[in-house]
């Protein structure tokens, strides 16, 4: 790969920020040290070229994201390989111009390794590239990436807590409403019973054959758990914050309905109903 296909923007003892017009212009010389900016999309195909050279970090363009998120699917491919990556809003840059990506781009989506290094949506690409170059982060295990966030409060100190899976529930969540992002089939039931939250909202997983994606609602009701699901068509599975912010309730068990949760209700409203519900005598 000739140097002419790459424009070096910045260099220090750690490596360089390098702009290029295409992902195909990345090279083995970028391995481990450089942050590569490629002015094309971040689908799985270009991500394979990026991953083969294993740069310190990568920034591309979201190209409108597209059906099934195809234009940014490479973010998760790279995340699985622990390579920090982000994309810029296509309307802020000139496609095919790596220097424009650095100079003009605004970050729209990031993967978890990039977020751990301080990159976030709305940030100029120039700042994001420097963070990827300069910041180190211990590699977290999968179980450590829970994305736990408190999003609401209720009576008696109860909280509404988002996390990406019910498996990440903590002992203190017995007094909280958990908003998570896995399906509510039978495999979720042992986790729900173990954590035994005051209330919960998960995903319906697309419902599945014979309603298998929500089968756990009835099972845990017998354990005294008030729970509901959001439609997988409305919120991103694996992203608890999306369940809370974007989700629309698709099913609820009797205890949740008694608390005022209704099908068609935004998840954030349902979470408020659950956290404010009056506990039954055996729960007090």
Domain map of the chain by residue range? 3-134, 146-275
Instruction: Show the tokens assigned to 267.
Output: 């998840």
Give the mean pLDDT of 24-52. Answer: 94
Give the mean pLDDT of 156-164. Answer: 93
Cα distances (Å, whole numbers) of residue 243 to 32, 33, 173, 203: 36, 37, 18, 7
Residue 143 — pLDDT band, cuts 50, 70, 90? low
Among candidates 199, 234, 204, which has minimal Cα distance to 216?
204
| pLDDT for residue 105 is more than 60 | yes
Q: What is the pLDDT of residue 177?
A: 97
Residue 2 — pLDDT band, cuts 50, 70, 90? very low
| pLDDT for residue 248 is more than 60 | yes
Residue pair 168/142 in contact by the 8 Å Cβ criterion: no
Residue pair 129/146 in contact by the 8 Å Cβ criterion: no
Residue 1 — pLDDT band, cuts 50, 70, 90? very low
- For 52-79, b/e burial (b = at least 16 CB within 10 A) is ebbbbbbbbbbbebeeeebbbbbbbbbb
Q: Report d(CA 46, CA 53) in Å as an integer.
A: 12
pLDDT tens figures, 171-195 = 999 999 999 999 999 999 999 999 9
């Amino acid at each position: 790969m000739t140097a002419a296909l790459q424009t070096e923007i910045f260099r220090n003892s750690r490596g360089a920020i390098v702009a290029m017009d295409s992902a195909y212009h990345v090279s083995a010389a970028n391995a481990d040290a450089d942050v590569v900016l490629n002015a094309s999309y971040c689908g799985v195909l270009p991500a394979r070229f990026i991953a083969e050279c294993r740069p310190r970090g990568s920034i591309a363009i979201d190209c409108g994201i597209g059906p099934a998120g195809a234009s940014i699917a490479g973010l998760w491919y790279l995340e699985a390989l622990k390579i920090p990556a982000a994309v810029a809003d296509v309307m802020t840059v000139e496609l095919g111009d790596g220097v424009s990506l650095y100079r003009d781009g605004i970050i729209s989506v990031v993967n978890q390794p990039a977020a751990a290094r301080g990159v976030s949506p709305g940030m100029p690409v120039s700042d994001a590239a420097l963070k990827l170059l300069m910041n180190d982060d211990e590699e977290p295990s999968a179980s450590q990436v829970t994305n736990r966030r408190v999003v609401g409060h209720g009576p008696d100190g109860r909280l509404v807590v988002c996390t990406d899976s019910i498996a990440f529930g903590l002992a203190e969540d017995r007094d909280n409403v958990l908003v998570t992002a896995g399906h509510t089939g039978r495999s979720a039931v042992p986790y729900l019973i173990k954590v035994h939250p005051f209330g919960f909202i998960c995903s319906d997983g697309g419902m599945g054959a014979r309603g298998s994606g929500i089968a756990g609602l009835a099972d845990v009701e017998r354990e005294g758990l008030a729970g509901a699901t959001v439609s997988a068509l409305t919120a991103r599975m694996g992203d608890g914050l999306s369940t809370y912010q974007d989700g629309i309730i698709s099913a609820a068990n009797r205890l949740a309905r008694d608390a005022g949760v209704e099908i068609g209700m935004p998840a954030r409203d349902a979470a408020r109903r659950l956290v404010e519900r009056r506990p039954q005598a055996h729960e007090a």
